[in-house]
Amino acid sequence: MKMIYNILVLLLFHYLLAHGQELDSSYVLDTPEKAYERAVEYVGKDYLSDNWQETIQVRYEALQDSTTPFLSTLFGDGDVWRVLVKDVLVAKGISRKNAKPEYLRDMEVFLDSSTGKLLKIECFYGDQSYINKYPLSAEEAESQIDGMGHGDKYNFIPESIPNTNFIEALLNCRENIYEANRIVGQYVNFQTHYKMISLDIDTTTPPVQAWIISLIGLNPKHLQHVSNYPEYTRNRIRQIIDASTNRLIISSTVPCIGLNPEDREKMGFKRK
């Protein structure tokens, strides 16, 4: 009997490791206090300042978003809590006193007001005019990510708090995250579809709970082989981190911004 009990405990441990802490479906985010408590669970409480409760800001409003991939499909246009968490320490082994300015970031957390699910986390730093000048619509990003059915799938938003919080996943990215002017984090059930006709490969990976972290405004050195292309076409990268193991699954330069008509003409392409 004791052996059966131990096996059940072990199975439960592995389930929680893979799926994270399940959300209580009866728990409603009906106050600002509940909203910011849930927000810091996703961000990572260990990285907040001692007085974070005094500086946090909470708003309740309808969601308007035209740039985050698959958000309208996964959520729609309902009401959300927007929780602004200030001075989050994006670093390990460094005290706040000795942290460089780029290590302290403000994070805005968007939560489904009815379920408490995380919709996205946004982090802005420095001048945004360059990014705003070359926006990438959610529709275009989704088309590139999906790859006509042979790309990545964001199946649904998990009903759980991930084992790896956002800051831990962000610190495990393989790019210089401090170069990014804008960082967007999404927590989803993720799969990818590989198809290589030359090798007779056509398979879909098992679904995992994952952080999708988009780093925007990077130094475009990671795409030197197309260095003749304008920077706005090659200054972003998407990192997919397994939320149960904090392991990098995929690093991708998709989606990217296409050439504008003027640059297409300069480079000898026909105008669309």
Q: Is residue 175 part of a domain?
A: yes
Q: Is residue 61 part of a domain?
A: yes
Q: pLDDT band for position 7 (50/70/90)?
A: very low
- Measured distance CA(250)–CA(132) in Å, rounded: 26
Q: Is residue 272 part of a domain?
A: no
Q: Is residue 101 part of a domain?
A: yes
Q: Give the pLDDT confidence of 48-62 residue by residue, as tens digits.
A: 999 999 999 999 999
φ, ψ of residue 45 in degrees (nearest 5): -65, -30
pTM: 0.86
Q: Give the pLDDT confidence of 210-233 residue by residue, as tens digits.
A: 999 999 988 876 555 566 788 788
**6: pLDDT strictly greater than 60:** no
Q: Is residue 162 part of a domain?
A: yes
pLDDT at 3: 43
pLDDT at 134: 82
Least confident interval from 141-145, 184-188, 219-223:
219-223
Place of tokens 């001048």: 127
Q: Is residue 236 part of a domain?
A: yes
- Give residue 156's domain range: 2-266
3-state secondary structure of 63: coil
Q: Give the pLDDT confidence of 98-131 residue by residue, as tens digits.
A: 999 999 999 999 999 989 999 999 999 888 877 7
Q: Is residue 228 part of a domain?
A: yes
Q: pLDDT band for position 9 (50/70/90)?
A: very low
Helices (H), the chain: 2-19, 32-43, 52-55, 71-74, 129-133, 138-146, 166-171, 261-266
Q: Is residue 118 part of a domain?
A: yes
- Measured distance CA(74)–CA(54) in Å, rounded: 32
How many domains is the chain partitioned into structurally? Answer: 1
Q: Write b or e for each residue in 13-40: b if 16 or more Cβ atoms lie within 10 A of its Cβ, otherwise e.
A: eeeeeebbeebeeeeebeeeebbbbbbb
**245: pLDDT strictly greater than 50:** yes
Place of tokens 């131990």: 6
